[in-house]
Amino acid sequence: LAKTTQPISMDSYEGQEVNITCSHNNIATNDYITWYQQFPSQGPRFIIQGYKTKVTNEVASLFIPADRKSSTLSLPRVSLSDTAVYYCLVGDGAAGNKLTFGGGTRVLVKP
Partner 1 sequence: DSGVTQTPKHLITATGQRVTLRCSPRSGDLSVYWYQQSLDQGLQFLIQYYNGEERAKGNILERFSAQQFPDLHSELNLSSLELGDSALYFCASSAGQGRSGNTIYFGEGSWLTVV
Q: How far apart are CA 42 and CA 14, in angstroms?
A: 23
Closest CA to 48 of 87, 93, 7, 10: 87
Q: Give the interface segment with partner 1, choosing from 36-44, 53-61, 62-70, 75-83 (CB under 8 A).
A: 36-44
| Residue among 107, 53, 105, 111 at smallest CA distance from 82 | 107
Q: Is 104 in the site for partner 1 (CB under 8 A)?
A: yes
Q: Which of 60, 87, 105, 107 binds partner 1 (CB under 8 A)?
A: 87
Q: List interacting residues with partner 1 (CB under 8 A).
A: 30-32, 34, 36, 41-46, 49, 51, 87, 91-94, 96-104
